[in-house]
Amino acid sequence: MYDLTRRELLAAVAAPVVLPVPQTGDPLKAIGSPLPTPKYTLSVNIELMFPKTMPHADCIQRIADAGMKAFSFWGPDGKDLAAMSRVQQRTGLRCGSISGNPTTGWKTGLTHPGNEAAFEKDFLVHVEVAKRFNVKNLISFVGERHPT
């Protein structure tokens, strides 16, 4: 465990995003930080970081052009998955995560009895998308909270 100040923590997390990073070597050493290199890769969510009208493949290309190593997205609806996959292959970016059940996760999920089949169907569709992009992480939601 490390004892970190907020400033040190922010430097460790934000340095790869906001500071120029050398193509080789430890980015934290470039800013003089004594902290170890994080054991994670920042993933830029294309749904949140770009205009909804921008083609998703273009978003992925912009992420690569900015020097990031990974992207993420919520699900396949309204996306040209073939174009996105081509850009991913060409740039070598990883896909950090996708949503496992965006259709059923926010409302019905598993918190409303009788929706288990819809939840499973939703999840299995996204498992196939995850395979296509070599995603190891599916973000899943179990449904809205109910008062007790």
Dihedral (C-alpha) 45, 51, 53, 55: value to the nearest 10 degrees? Answer: -40
Q: 5: buried, middle or exposed (CB in 10 Å: 19+, 13-18, 0-12)?
A: exposed
63: nearest Cα among 36, 35, 26, 96? 96
Alpha-carbon span 20 to 40, nearest angstrom: 18
The pTM of the full predicted model, rounded to 2 decimals, is 0.70
Residue 134 has pLDDT above 90, yes or no: yes
Neighbours of 131 (CB within 10 A): 9
**Amino acid in position 45:** N
**CA torsion, points 81, 13, 50, 127, in degrees to nearest 10?**
20
Q: Write down the pLDDT at residue 7.
A: 61
Residue 26: which pLDDT band, with cuts at 50, 70 and 90? low
